[in-house]
Structure 1
Amino acid sequence: MGTTGVFRLSDVELDESIGRSTPDVEHERAVAIFDLVEENSFEPVGHPGGPYKLKLSLVDMRLVFAVTTESGDPVVTHILSLTPFRRIVKDYFMICESYYDAIRSSSPGQIEAIDMGRRGIHNDGSQTLMDRLEGKIKVDFATARRLFTLICVLHWRG
């Protein structure tokens, strides 16, 4: 089995502490989790290999990454402050609203410009997540993007 089979997530679960939201938000969560599990690179530093299960929860305004093996053996738990993400998530939601408004009433050029900004903010959030996980969990940029999408969906109350 190659590296991708060993250092990857096979399952992602959102803790009940996160609560439920509107059907649209629940759909976004399900899609984000599906995309993440479908394709990812996830390597807890110093661990010989998975595949892994990730349980995300929010505790005292912190993001908790609880990682286990597929059989449920604990691997590591990392707790990240959400403070570095607050501004990015807020900006991301604002530009997403602009994007959805633009789809209804703007020219293709305006929509494309807003979408480029939206992707740029999403990339900033993904890089921030990679920086926060450095030395703890190694992820590639595509995996960081999918995890950042999930972080945004966790904040999205609908």
Structure 2
Amino acid sequence: MPDQRLVRVELPEEPPAPSAYAEADRRQAIADLLTGNRFDPPNLPKGPYALAVSVREGRLVLDIRDVDNRPLHVLALALGPFRRLIKDYHMVVEAHERAVAECGPESRVQAIDMGRRGLHNEGAELLQVRLKGRVEVDFETARRLFTLVCALHQRI
């Protein structure tokens, strides 16, 4: 199903992320997402799709549109189940940034990065569970969407 994918991802116009690292992470997540993804909302017309991702009133809002920007469906997911993962993810990212800036031992940077990847995977799995029955996404798509959730939450 090559058309069951995202061809455009939009985030709200906001000030840049708190660090260059976080901003680069967000940009890379969008680029990787658009390079390859599986996004299949079973009850909507066939894609491809555009997706506007935002956080409003403690909810993750996924505004699914067609390629001509016509609204198809809006999903709102409570962020409560993600809060611990998002908080831990931000702490690990900050620790990684500090370790790199301080030119810390490579083993320390790698250990922190492994922790970040573990949290990232946990967040992706949770996102897949929360989207089940609403939007089918593969693991890599879920990982990249989780990065965007963290980026949006960081700006709140």
TMscore range, shorter length: 0.7 to 0.9
Residue 53 of structure 1 aligns to a residue in which SS? Answer: strand
Distance in 1 (alpha carbons) for counterparts of 2:130 and 2:15: 27
- Which letter does structure 1 place at the counterpart of 2:9? V
> How many residues are matched?
153
Q: For 1:121, which of 119, 131, 144 is the aligned residue?
A: 119
CA-CA distance at 1:27 after TM superposition: 4.3
Between the two proteins, what is the percent identity of the paired residues?
44
With the length of structure 1 as denominator, give the TM-score of the two structures.
Answer: 0.87
Number of the residue aligned with 1:50: 47
Distance in 2 (alpha carbons) for counterparts of 1:31 and 1:45: 28
Residue 68 of structure 2 aligns to a residue in which SS? Answer: coil
Say whether 1:9 aligns with 2:6: yes
Per-residue CA deviations over 1:118-151 (Å, capped at 9, x if unaligned) read 1001111111111111110000000000100111
Distance in 2 (alpha carbons) for counterparts of 1:93 and 1:136: 28
Report if the CA contact (8 A) 2:10-2:53 is conserved.
yes
With the length of structure 2 as denominator, give the TM-score of the two structures.
Answer: 0.88
Change (3 A) 1:111 1:148: same
Long gaps (5+) in structure 2: none
Per-residue CA deviations over 1:50-107 (Å, capped at 9, x if unaligned) read 1000011222111111101112333221100111111101101111111222222432
Long gaps (5+) in structure 1: none
Number of the residue aligned with 1:106: 104
Number of the residue aligned with 1:71: 68
